[in-house]
Amino acid sequence: MKIDPDHSPATRPRGIVFDLQRSALHDGPGIRTTVFLKGCPLRCAWCHNPESQAFEPETGCGGKTYGREMSVKEVMAVVRRDRVFYRSSGGGLTISGGEPTAQYAFCAALLRAAKAEGIHTCLDTCGALDWPRLDALRRDVDVFLYDYKATDPALHRKLTGIAAALPHENLERLLKAGATVRPRCPLLPGVNDDSAHLAAITETGRRYPGLMIDLMAYHDIGDGKYDDLGRSRPALATHVLTEADKQSWLSVLHSAGAAQVALG
């Protein structure tokens, strides 16, 4: 991929992209291309993409560079190559991160460009931005993949570094506004899988019939990235999911009436 030397307004805004994956099968419906934008206001203790946290490009100990500047035009040139697969599978573009809305202008322009070409869009967001700006993205987002990380405010702040109020309120606002939302709940055994949190997930599922909720079980395969960046993952008193954890979560959620819960 060559950096576009064109700095005309048509190629602005430019963004910092740390990965661009074609054939993504787990980031929304169908076969997708996922664009990972660099930079995140949160510091989730379990983050598996630590190279996504800083906004500027950085180089790992192994010599790999994380992040490069790209224009909307350059990203779209890659995205539109798989249109035939989007059509056959109901897929499209997913913008992930980092927190993609932290590069707001670029993220919005990319969503707009995709929709202008009739490409389905997903936005993988934590929802930590002012409602009017999130609301403005609704026009160009077909599905919000929306993180729901912890219910207890103190725990939320401890685990993510930010207050729970804004992301929680924005989730409600999106649902009330009729947006298609797919809550994604990272669950860490012994850390945030308490009964109050599971109850809150269930309650959301009950209030919005048809809502599909993904449980994302904790894994530690991102730890190698911390090593490469010369950092260590924040201490976390958890463990990789066991069959017992899985059964207990699903039984709580299903017995409480949230049928459309998938463990990914």
Partner 1 sequence: MLYNDDVNVPAMMKAMNVPETEARDYLPFGCGEYILWRKSVATPSGAINVAKCLELALNDGRCLLTGEVVGPRTGAPASFGTFEALWHAFTVQLDHGIRALARLQRLEYEVGAREIAFLYITLLTDDCLATGKAVCFGGARYLSGTLETYGNSDVADALTAVRRAVFDDKRVALPDLVVALKNNWSDAEPLRQSLLALPKFGNDDDEADAMAVRFHEHIANAIRDQAKVVGLHSYLMVVINNSMNVDFGHMTAALPDGRRAGEPLANGNNPVAGRDRQGVTAFLQSLAKLRPDHHAGAVHNMKFSRALFTCSRAKLEALLAAYWESGGAQAMITVVNRGDLEAAMAEPAKWGHLIVRVGGFSARFIELPQDLQLHLLARTLNE
Write out the residues near partner 1 by the rule CB under 8 A. Answer: 19, 21-27, 30-31, 34, 36, 48-49, 64, 81-82, 84-85, 87-91, 96, 124, 184, 214, 216, 219-225, 227, 240, 264
Q: How far is CA 48 from the centre of its chain?
A: 12
Q: Return the CA Rg of the chain.
A: 18
Between the CA of residue 74 and those of 11, 33, 85, what are the distances in Å? 8, 14, 19
Q: Whole-number minimum distance, CB 176 to partner 1, in Å?
A: 26
Q: How far apart are CA 133 and CA 42, in angstroms?
A: 18
Q: Whole-number minimum distance, CB 137 to partner 1, in Å?
A: 19
Q: Output 61 or 178, the one with its CB closest to partner 1.
A: 61
Q: Are 93 and 120 in contact (CB under 8 A)?
A: yes
Q: Output 203 or 220, the one with its CB closest to partner 1.
A: 220
Q: How far apart are CA 105 and CA 42, in angstroms?
A: 19
Q: Whole-number minimum distance, CB 242 to partner 1, in Å?
A: 11
174: left (phi over 0), alpha (psi -120 to 50) or beta: alpha
Q: Output 59 or 88, the one with its CB closest to partner 1.
A: 88
CB atoms within 10 A of CB 105: 12
Q: Output 14 or 32, the one with its CB closest to partner 1.
A: 32
Instruction: State the alpha helices, DSSP H only, in the chain.
Output: 72-79, 83-89, 104-116, 131-137, 153-160, 165-176, 195-207, 223-228, 243-255
Q: Output 51 or 193, the one with its CB closest to partner 1.
A: 51
Q: Output 152 or 248, the one with its CB closest to partner 1.
A: 248
Q: Whole-number minimum distance, CB 61 to partner 1, in Å?
A: 12
Angle (CA) 96 97 102, round 5°: 105
Task: Give the residues across from 121 on adjacent strands.
Answer: 93
Q: Whole-number minimum distance, CB 52 to partner 1, in Å?
A: 9
Q: Whole-number minimum distance, CB 9 to partner 1, in Å?
A: 26
Q: Output 222 or 234, the one with its CB closest to partner 1.
A: 222
Q: Whole-number minimum distance, CB 219 to partner 1, in Å?
A: 6
